[in-house]
Amino acid sequence: MKIESVAETERWFLRRGVPHLIADYNAAEDVFTRVLPLLTAIFLFSMVGALNDDFSLGENVGVAVGGFALLIAIWAGVNWMRGRRPLLARPDRVGNLELTVFVFGPALVPIVFGGQFSTAGITVLTNLLVLGVVYLGASYGVLAILSWALRRLFSDFGRALRIGMRALPLLLLFNAFLFINAEVWQVTSRIDLMLLLAALGLFILLGVVFLLSRLSGEISELATFHSIDEVDRLCEGTPMANRSSGADVPDYPLSRRQRGNVGLVLVFSQGVLVLAVSVFIGLFFIVFGLLIMNVDTLVQWTEQPLNELYSVSFRGDRIVLTEELLRAAGFLAAFSGLYFTVNAATEPTYRREFFDGLLAEVRQSMAVREAYLTALED
């Protein structure tokens, strides 16, 4: 396989949010090196942590200048140890030494300028957290996954709308009765907003946990192929199209990180679809509530004055958008999202209707990987 085809296939993996499917994917070279400009900016400006309210303006300016000079000196020292020239050149590779300096180097600034050991400890912990977030975000292509899922959703907005319309009868079957129930309005209107958001977050967490519990079996199923013709057919329209992957069905087991990367794609892609359906349901309940919910009835149900956000007169009646309506609609939308997740993932009919399209695209990535690795071996 030509080098151009290899590069094109690997870029295809990156766009799909599955960088770990690339052969010999290395964190030091392919993650931290790729985000080196961001790490450099964080490293150089982390000296602001040494600034102190107890210092005068002139002292803080001196700390900033001195801290910046100290970090530059540390940078030059690392390049000297690596044999890089000039000494202020940007590293072409981020290894263990560079990562160690990124974590502990800025912590020297508050120690040298003022003996602020507690600030130094906070700086070390913050830098470790930054590295963790950067690694997970870049290594597993979180932004690429989200971008791919959103592009897929909006590129076929009509399909997403049809999914919402098909899901509506299923979800309204029981939620419509909750929506016109006084107890639901009383609970959602009286609870503190932060507690209500926490309850909505609990629904989301349960949905994610449910999807995660099914990942192992789904990934194994998506990565299993029964014939070479099936692999070649799935590779159509990809950089591996028209490239024979051999005479036998390829068998390249997924590593733990690769399974984690594919699992993240599944959770994100399904989660974006569930979110779209939940938003659709929430908007339906808002419109439904504006049309049928009388202000006097809501005051009687909630037993407190309504927080009116917007109102308009229509044929002698007032159509009022209230905070209470948004709370009730949001609660039922989150609950509907959880119910939709469980049904769409477990019921064969709903699964085929809602999730099979997403799973087919992930399966295509698995087929391209098989053909790609076979071609690399050949």
The DSSP line for 118-184 is HHHHHHHHHHHHHHHHHIIIIITTHHHHHHHHHHHHHHTHHHHHHHHHHHHHHHHHHHHHHHT-HHH
Q: Looking at the domain assignment, is residue 37 inside a domain?
A: yes
Q: Looking at the domain assignment, is residue 3 inside a domain?
A: no
Predicted local confidence at residue 153, as pLDDT: 62
Residues of the chain with pLDDT under 50: none
The alpha carbon of 195 is separated from its chain's Cα centroid by a whole number of angstroms, namely 24
| Of 101, 124, 139, the domain-final residue | 139
Q: Looking at the domain assignment, is residue 4 inside a domain?
A: no
Q: Are 98 and 198 in the same domain?
A: no
Report how far residue 133's alpha carbon sits from residue 127's, in angstroms, rounded to the nearest whole number. Answer: 10
Report how far residue 366's alpha carbon sits from residue 371's, in angstroms, rounded to the nearest whole number. Answer: 9
| Of 96, 111, 139, the domain-final residue | 139
Q: Are 132 and 231 in the same domain?
A: no
Predicted local confidence at residue 248, as pLDDT: 67
252: which 2 tokens? 């390249």
Report how far residue 75's alpha carbon sits from residue 216's, in angstroms, rounded to the nearest whole number. Answer: 44
56: which 2 tokens? 């005068």
Residue with tokens 């926490």: 198
Q: Are 280 and 231 in the same domain?
A: yes
Residue 55: how many CB atoms within 10 A of its CB?
A: 15
Find the Cα–Cα–Cα–Cα dihedral 228, 231, 235, 241, rounded to 10°: -10
Q: Are 105 and 147 in the same domain?
A: no
Predicted local confidence at residue 161, as pLDDT: 61
Q: Are 239 and 357 in the same domain?
A: yes
Q: Looking at the domain assignment, is residue 287 inside a domain?
A: yes
Q: Are 327 and 371 in the same domain?
A: yes
Q: What pTM value is reported for the model?
A: 0.66
Q: Are 125 and 167 in the same domain?
A: no
Q: What is the CA radius of gyration of the chain?
A: 27
Q: Looking at the domain assignment, is residue 249 inside a domain?
A: yes
What's the domain count of the chain?
A: 2
Predicted local confidence at residue 165, as pLDDT: 66
Q: Which domain holds residue 207?
A: 142-377
194 sits in which H/E element: helix 193-213
Q: What are phi and psi of 2, to 5 degrees?
A: -70, 155
Is residue 25 a contact partner of residue 10, using CB atoms and an 8 Å limit?
A: no
Q: Looking at the domain assignment, is residue 306 inside a domain?
A: yes
Q: Looking at the domain assignment, is residue 12 inside a domain?
A: no
Residue 40's nearest CA partner among 91, 113, 83, 114 is 91
Q: What is the DSSP letter of 55?
A: S
Predicted local confidence at residue 281, as pLDDT: 86
| Of 99, 118, 139, the domain-final residue | 139
Q: Are 146 and 187 in the same domain?
A: yes
Q: Are 175 and 126 in the same domain?
A: no
Q: Are 42 and 102 in the same domain?
A: yes
Q: Are 154 and 213 in the same domain?
A: yes
Q: Looking at the domain assignment, is residue 68 inside a domain?
A: yes
Predicted local confidence at residue 331, as pLDDT: 92
Predicted local confidence at residue 167, as pLDDT: 64
Is residue 298 a contact partner of residue 306, using CB atoms and an 8 Å limit?
A: yes
Q: Are 55 and 115 in the same domain?
A: yes
Q: Mention every residue, 6+ apart, whose C-beta is less than 8 A from residue 191.
A: 199
